[in-house]
Amino acid sequence: MAERDKRKKLAIVIHDNPDPDAISSGLALKEIAKNLGVEANILYHGRIGHQENKAFVNLLGIDLGKMEEHNLKNFDEIALIDCSIPGVNNMVPLNSYVGIVIDHHPPGETEIKAEYIDIRPNFGATATIMTKYLQQLNINISKTMATALLYGIRTDTQDFKRKTDPADLSAASYLYPLSNHGILDQLEQPSMAIETLEVLGEAIRNRQVLGSYLLSNVGNIRDRDTLPQAADYLLSLEGISTTVVFGVTEDRIYISGRSNDIRVNLGEIMRQAFGEDAGGHANAAGAQIPLGVFSATKDRQTLLRLVNEAVVKRFLSAVGVENT
């Protein structure tokens, strides 16, 4: 028993409200740690709200821990997976020492600090990076692991239609015969939550179109995962090449954007418009902004109007479009 207590412990922290790419990548690192005799826990903050993501975790029986229920001081090392900066889209305290960073999101101008860093912005998914590690280390990939990683790659690349590198295709090709296709079929046909339908309706009703840009304020939200779904859907409208959908919780404004315009780097535009807690890829990005001065506004409708004006003005200014 004493020998067991001496084993190293690793906290694998994935980003807030994690998606299949982050979850499957954390699962892969946990398997690598296990092969090295290191005990690991996958930790996240927020909620798994997207219907597909809930189904993904439940069907594959993935064990995840909440950040609030663990003290990071009880771990020997911290790994950030599918995120790269302490305190940015994760609950790791700012300026914490981080041992490992593995991510595929462009870090922007912020310096990444860790003992081991592997960031590959050309890859469409962090799950692709982790698949390569498992192959190189000759670690057996179980059916559950293969299914998780393949689904992570497919969702983050939108079935290889968004930001896809040849490495994503080769990793998926390797994982495909190892995966549980019955579970993959179930994951592709989840039920849509009523809130998702309501937010989608609000996004359509409240759309503001300027040229090929569409912005929509959906008002109060409970589940921020509804925003990227609405942004994806609105991108299919005729004449629209970039969508930005945003909503408000009790203390934050959440923004999600999608683009199929090759002239637009949405991640950079989001960062320019909304600061360091914003960013992503050229065609998929997001931001979260504390309500700050707006929170003093007692009337909710006035608050939503002020938020709408601020978000629209900042975004259009960043893309150089005048709101007439």
Q: Show the domains of the chain with their CATH numbers.
A: 2-187 (3.90.1640.10), 195-319 (3.10.310.30)
Please say if the pLDDT value at position 4 is more than 60: no
For the stretch 16-42, pLDDT in tens is: 989 999 999 999 999 999 999 999 999
Please say if the pLDDT value at position 258 is more than 50: yes
Among residues of the chain, what percentage have pLDDT more than 90? 64
User: Six-digit token pair at 292?
Assistant: 């700050």
Please say if the pLDDT value at position 190 is more than 60: no
CA distances from 62 to 43, 278, 289 (A): 12, 28, 31
Q: Determine the pLDDT at residue 130.
A: 98
Q: Taking residues 266-291, what's their average pLDDT?
A: 88
Q: Which residues contact 289 (CB under 8 A, 6 or more apart)?
A: 252, 253, 255, 274, 275, 277, 278
Q: Taking residues 46-55, what's their average pLDDT?
A: 82
Q: CA-to-CA distance for 288 and 278, rounded, in angstroms?
A: 7
Q: Taking residues 285-294, what's their average pLDDT?
A: 84
Considering only CA atoms, which of 306, 296, 269 is closest in space to residue 284? 269
For the stretch 102-149, pLDDT in tens is: 999 988 778 899 999 999 999 999 999 999 999 999 999 999 999 999
CA distances from 94 to 70, 84, 86, 98 (A): 17, 12, 5, 10
One-letter amino acid of 86? P
Among residues of the chain, what percentage have pLDDT more than 70? 95
Confidence of residue 192 (pLDDT cuts 50, 70, 90): low
Please say if the pLDDT value at position 261 is more than 50: yes
Asked if residue 126 lies in contact with residue 102, where contact means CB atoms within 8 angstroms, the answer is: yes
Length of the chain: 324
Q: CA-to-CA distance for 258 and 270, rounded, in angstroms?
A: 11
Please say if the pLDDT value at position 196 is more than 90: no
Distance of CA 37 to the CA centre of its chain: 29
More reliable by pLDDT, 304 or 296:
304
Q: Taking residues 232-257, what's their average pLDDT?
A: 92
CA distances from 61 to 19, 70, 132, 180 (A): 15, 20, 23, 13
Question: Which pairs count as long-range contacts for 166-171, CB under 8 Å and 24+ apart, including other chains?
Answer: 167/122, 167/123, 167/128, 167/132, 168/123, 168/124, 168/125, 168/128, 171/127, 171/128, 171/131, 171/132
pTM of the complete model? 0.70
Considering only CA atoms, which of 157, 175, 191, 153 is closest in space to residue 52? 191
User: Six-digit token pair at 35?
Assistant: 């092969």
Q: Determine the pLDDT at residue 5.
A: 47
Helices (H), 94-142: 126-136
Q: CA-to-CA distance for 65 and 83, rounded, in angstroms?
A: 17
User: Six-digit token pair at 225?
Assistant: 């995962």
Asked if residue 13 lies in contact with residue 30, where contact means CB atoms within 8 angstroms, the answer is: no
